[in-house]
Chain A
């Protein structure tokens, strides 16, 4: 922080200034206390209050994650259903392979592939940057689209596989056989009866993926120079901007935990057989 030419005296002064000579426990408690009161510190790098910095950056990241969840669900659920219904035949094998490809190729490689195709090749979308979505929704979406797409291909892989395997389980169960015996149309059986039950585990995976999305976002925001919390976390780590690192990590971890908690609660709510005593 002081640079490579700092003298021992200057280091000592800075230490007292930052309160570093106090024992760790005391510092931790006072930090927690300030946190709860809303004093999140000041960036060592820019001098800006961390609270402002983070709250400005959170929305853009959420746009990316929300967009990718919407796209994922729209694509993966039908794909999963089709794969389950046509099990072990070509549609299944193709979508399973594509799914695996999705989660094996790293986020940043997908990002680069999409940049190549959509931005540099087709000139449809920008390669980087950001427009505030509250002022210009369409513009904001344009900038968020490619990063979201990169997340989407990975999560479609997860959700498709999960939907497929739970659909397979459901379709071989007794009540579906009863429905078929009753003579209900295949479409009705599939979408009204089977899917509702098959979706439960998929919902859990979706919630968990929201959590993971905030990890992937660190890389993707870097690739697309998108000013979200992921990029903030990355640059603060590189610059050793400790107050910012602390808050970023807490925020991201909190979102992750909330996402997982939501998944558990949702599952318990929707499945009456599971109850936490």
Chain B
């Protein structure tokens, strides 16, 4: 079980360093993370302070992203909302993992009847377009951060379960599992101790890409009014309230919108790069990698 000092990890780290997209997207994500953590110090103005007389100011040196209908500095609001968007993504994914990994593990490992039943159930779950399901859940529970996270997280569970299940199915017949069984290890230990660590790479790739969609879905739910209520600096909410002024002051809606796009883009790129890095088959194309 000592896998952390492996040469495999060194190989992965090296491939990561060489992959330009991976580096670039990680840097952007780290930038956003720093922004989120240091938001109170980095925001030039108070994100919630109305400033009468400065409403609808176009972007300028004083207000790089302009001001909104209450004179609030848009840049400060966007910076303030960063943490929320990141937190939403991570929490929703955490929920998806907590729910999906056990289901996938158990279903793949126990096989046959259990697997069939679980797969039919997840098929029904997946049968809904993500957004509709999340919309229903959030709509019924009421608009709040927690409910939106719940909705998006629940929607991800079947997808995670399936990825884990297919990895488990591939690993189940391998020798090290047979050896563990032969030496009398309990099923639980085998699932968690032997199989799970080896599922790490597909789970990691899936997680990174899902993070992108979690943030996207979170923004969409907030746009529709199912996230936090005003005066929150939630990006989706900012786009929605800025929409009314699109013709005259487009910056109010556009900057938060582009912020969402940039964050999601970096996670998408990272996930895509991770898939290349962790895929054993891709190695041979680069000579000397």
Please indicate which of the listed interface residues A106, A107, A108 has the most CB atoms of chain B within 10 Å of its own CB: A106
Within 8 A of A (CB), among B27-74: none
Query: When each residue 81-112 of chain B gets 1 if its CB lies under 8 Å from chain A and 0 otherwise, what string results?
Result: 00000000000000000000000000000000
A105, A108, A120, A214: the one within 8 Å of B132 (CB): A214
Closest to B267 in A: A104
Kindly provide the distance from the CB of A229 to the nearest chain B CB, expressed in whole angstroms. Answer: 10
Q: Which one of B158-166, B192-200, B212-220 contacts A?
A: B212-220
Q: In chain B between 228 and 280, which residues have their CB closer than 8 angstroms to a CB of chain A?
A: 236, 239-240, 243, 246-247, 250, 253-254, 257-258, 260-262, 264-265, 268-269, 272
The answer on a CB contact under 8 Å between B129 and A238 is no
Complex interface residues of chain A between 107 and 131 (CB less than 8 A to chain B):
107-109, 112-113, 115-116, 120
* B131, B239, B253, B264: the one within 8 Å of A104 (CB): B264
Q: How far is the CA of A216 from the CA of B129 in the complex (A)?
A: 9
User: Would you call A253 and B130 a contact (CB within 8 A)?
Assistant: no
Contact with B along A193-227 (1 / 0, CB 8 A): 00000000000000000011011101100110000
Known A112-B253, A249-B136, A256-B127; judge A219-B260 contact (CB<8 A). no
User: What is the minimal beta-carbon distance from B241 to any residue of chain A, in angstroms?
Assistant: 12
User: Quick check: B220 and A106 within 8 Å, CB to CB?
Assistant: yes
Query: Which residues of A lie under 8 Å from residue B254 when comparing CB positions?
Result: 109, 112-113, 116
**Complex-state Cα separation, A64 to B76, whole angstroms:** 37
Answer whether residue B169 sits at the interface, using C-beta atoms and an 8 A cutoff. no
Please determine whether B135 and A109 come into contact, CB atoms closer than 8 angstroms: no
Q: In whole angstroms, how far apart are the Cα atoms of A109 and B246 in the complex?
A: 11
Whole-angstrom distance between the Cβ of B35 and the nearest chain A Cβ: 18
The residue from A105, A112, A222 contacting B224, defined by CB atoms under 8 A apart: A222
Q: Are B260 and A106 in contact (CB under 8 A)?
A: yes
Are A218 and B268 in contact, with the CB atoms below 8 A? no
CA distance in complex: A207, B135 (Å): 22
Selected from B132, B247, B261, the residue in CB contact (under 8 A) with A233 is B132
- By the criterion of a CB under 8 Å from any partner CB, how many residues of chain B are at the interface? 36
Q: Tell whether, in the assembled complex, residue B261 and residue A105 are in contact, meaning their CB atoms are under 8 Å apart.
A: yes
A104 with B250, Cβ < 8 A, contacts A237-B135, A257-B127 known: no
Answer yes or no: B139 CB below 8 A from chain A CBs: yes
- Asked whether A51 is an interface residue with its Cβ less than 8 Å from the other chain, the reply is no
Q: Is A74 an interface residue (CB 8 A)?
A: no
A252 contacts which of B128, B223, B243, B253 (Cβ < 8 Å)?
A: B128
Q: Are A105 and B264 in contact (CB under 8 A)?
A: yes
A234 touches B246 (CB 8 A): no
Q: Is the CB of A233 within 8 A of B135?
A: yes
- Kindly state whether residue A103 has any CB partner on chain B within 8 Å: yes
Rounded to whole angstroms, the CA-CA distance of A103 and B261 in the bound complex is 9
Smallest CB separation, A257 vs chain B (Å) = 5
Which residues from A are CB-within-8-Å of B128?
Answer: 249, 252-253, 256
List of A residues within 8 angstroms of B225 by Cβ: 238
Q: In this complex, what residue of B is CB-closest to A161?
A: B272
Q: Quick one: given A214-B129, A237-B139, A249-B128, are A109 and B239 in contact (CB under 8 Å)? A: yes
B243's nearest neighbour on chain A, judged by CB, is: A112
A212 touches B129 (CB 8 A): yes
Q: Decide: A104 near B129, CB < 8 A? Known: A113-B254, A249-B136.
A: no
- Whether A109 contacts B129 by the Cβ 8 Å rule is no
Q: Which of B128, B132, B136, B216 counts the most A-chain CB atoms under 10 A from its CB? A: B132
Set of chain B residues within 8 Å of A11, measured between Cβ atoms: none
A253: chain B residues at CB < 8 Å are 127-129, 132
3 nearest CB pairs, A to B:
A215-B129, A109-B257, A105-B261
17 extra interface residue pairs, beta carbon distance < 8 Å, beyond A215-B129, A215-B132? A103-B268, A104-B212, A104-B265, A105-B264, A106-B219, A106-B264, A107-B220, A108-B220, A109-B258, A116-B250, A215-B131, A223-B243, A238-B139, A252-B128, A253-B127, A256-B127, A257-B127
Q: Identify 12 residue pairs between A and B in the complex whose beta-carbon atoms are under 8 Å apart, listed by A's number.
A: A100-B269, A104-B216, A106-B257, A112-B239, A218-B224, A219-B220, A223-B243, A234-B224, A252-B129, A253-B127, A253-B128, A256-B127
